[in-house]
Chain A
Amino acid sequence: MTQLNINKVKFLEKQLKKLEPTFAKGGKLEKLHYVYDALATFAFTPATTTSRGAHIRDGVDLKRTMFIVVLALIPALIFGMFNTGHWHFVAESGNWNLPYWDNVLDKFIYGAIKVLPMIVVSYGVGLGVEFIFCNIKGHPIHEGFLVSGMLIPLVMPVEVPLWMVAVATAFAVLIGKEVFGGTGMNIVNIALTARAFLFFAYPTKMSGDTVWMGGQEADGFSGATFLGDAQSLLSDSPAVNGVDGIMAKYSFMDSFMGMIPGSIGETSALACLIGAVLLIATGVGSLRIMLSFVIGGLAFGALFNAIGVNDYMNVPAYMHLVVGGFAFGAVFMATDPVTAAQTAHGKIWYGFFGGGIAILIRVLNPAYPEGVMLSILFMNIMAPLIDHYVIQANINRRLKRLKVA
């Protein structure tokens, strides 16, 4: 936590202290008290201490947890910006095999120009809704949105209009979170709600060939993703030549590195892996869920390989792990501590079926190319039920032990 101490600039602290009475009870801006509170405690550890009730003492508080997750997202974000820029230049030149590591700075700047406004909109709208809500309802502002606000742009295709990002963020914060009472109370992941909302509301802007590459200009240039191309295997006129054709177009290594078109933050399995290491090392993310998610995906992938009725089923199981949003979902979405299963056993089932259903939707559902987001959403819904039965089983086991004894 030492890095945060850098923030402890005395001047800022003094200024905040000076402003405090304005927001205190009876002050001029009393109504905005919670906004002040949120900003002040974001910068400094609050001076108040808890006065009653049982507490677990732990150095990690919510704000620090959120900060670590955002930190873990940085590699994916940086790489995402660069990758977006790359595919923009590919689309412009019409040359699929444009050298990847040329003009690095140009690509990065182009990507940043595309991506930063989305982040600004996502944070602006999300925090705006939250601030308004907290002031009406009179409850303190939580920091939960710090992570969601970063996740939302990262799971979007680059060409999605900003107003759609705004609408989706507002919907997700309001219906996904505020109606349940704010941070920590929601049952579905906020960022996934935003993405699912856009996906169902504006499908043409969320899938298809024209949304993955920034400022597509070349006429008739198909900017499909791996999943988009693989989807065409389900019909009798695939865009590329069978499974082999797809594997040649997107090699495993390229996909692992993230050098393929896709949503901004999700293409690079490597960047997600770096994030995962950080999350696991700090104990913020659940290793149990990540592992069982990957195993579930591999198991279902292998199962479909064995069945192999249509071409899509023959896509190698390991390939599923590095394309689309699988890695991103496993590391950042499925592990959301609020919406995942809470029990140790429950987490294993939750992860396994989350990964498995993701592959199932990809391979069997021609309507939705990307299954990961929907499968995690589905498991969010099922998590309380899983927990319920895990707890019931525990109770029963203990009762039995009691009887034997």
Chain B
Amino acid sequence: MQETLSIFVKGIFSENMIFAYFLGMCSYLAVSKTVKTAVGLGAAVIFVLGITVPINYLLENYVLKEGALAWLGEGYADINLSFLSFIMFIAVIASMVQLVEMLVEKFAPALYGALGIFLPLIAVNCAILGGALFMQDRQYTSIGDATAFGIGSGIGWFLAIVAIAAIREKIKYSHVPAPLRGLGITFIITGLMGMAFMSFMGIEY
């Protein structure tokens, strides 16, 4: 339990998707002009990461990994399909996003109003595929850990994009040198934020 909690907290702070691995930067830069949209996109990322990481975990451990097919019978124990993992993960993500979009639209129209336009953006958000790949790389030992990691890093991503959106709203009134306006200053702010987030790196949870 303690380990699961530690994975969760690490995902938010010390192994933050944005500040430690730069994942999901494209949408992070594009959709962080106002806090309101940032909250929408951030929530969508938490949602999708929380769903796709555990599904990909099952896929990895019961289909792709070396020996993962052993449950089918003795003869399948030697099969190693891990070279297919990229294509399987991205397929799961793309179809899950589609499915979630349809379900949300049907059963929770209010939520769809808030998240709807962001969901298609998410299929190509590096943070989602990154979540699956880190899950594979770090070999979490249970589906609970994998879920905790998914949701934790989703929240970390959320925190990052909402914080920068607030800062960008604030610096609208600053005299940023013209060549730095927009993209340049956002990069530099993110760098400074990264330094601040590093204070959590190394905490033993």
**How close is A207's CB to chain B, nearest CB, in angstroms?**
13
Which one of B162, B184, B203 lies within 8 Å of A361 (CB-CB)? B203
Complex interface: chain B residues within 8 A of A196 (CB)? 195-196
**Which residues between 348 and 405 of chain A lie within 8 Å of chain B, taking CB atoms?**
357, 360-361, 364-368, 371, 374-375, 377-378, 380-382, 384-385, 387-388
For the complex, what is the distance from the CA of A398 to the CA of B129, rounded to whole Å? 43
- Give the interface of A toward B (CB within 8 A): 137, 139, 175-176, 178-182, 185, 187-188, 193, 196-197, 200, 357, 360-361, 364-368, 371, 374-375, 377-378, 380-382, 384-385, 387-388
B155-174 vs A, Cβ < 8 Å mask (1 yes, 0 no): 00000001100110111011
The answer, yes or no, to whether B201 is at the interface (CB within 8 Å) is yes
With A175-B188, A365-B203 known as contacts, the answer to whether A384 contacts B169 (CB < 8 A) is yes
For the complex, what is the distance from the CA of A387 to the CA of B167, rounded to whole Å? 10
**Which residues between 150 and 202 of chain B lie within 8 Å of chain A, taking CB atoms?**
162-163, 166-167, 169-171, 173-177, 180, 184-185, 188-189, 191-193, 195-202
**How close is B5's CB to chain A, nearest CB, in angstroms?**
13
Whether the Cβ atoms of B204 and A181 lie closer than 8 Å is: no
Whether the Cβ atoms of B170 and A187 lie closer than 8 Å is: yes
Which one of B163, B173, B176, B192 lies within 8 Å of A176 (CB-CB)? B192
The answer, yes or no, to whether B35 is at the interface (CB within 8 Å) is yes
> Which residue from chain B places its CB closest to the CB of A358 in the assembled complex?
B199
Whether the Cβ atoms of B185 and A366 lie closer than 8 Å is: no
Complex interface: chain A residues within 8 A of B192 (CB)? 175-176, 187-188, 193, 381
Whether the Cβ atoms of A384 and B204 lie closer than 8 Å is: no
With A180-B174, A181-B174, A388-B35 known as contacts, the answer to whether A381 contacts B196 (CB < 8 A) is yes
With A200-B195, A361-B203, A378-B199 known as contacts, the answer to whether A179 contacts B163 (CB < 8 A) is no
B14-40 vs A, Cβ < 8 Å mask (1 yes, 0 no): 000000000000000000000100000
Count chain B CB atoms within 10 A of each CB in A175, A368, A381 and give the residue with the most: A381
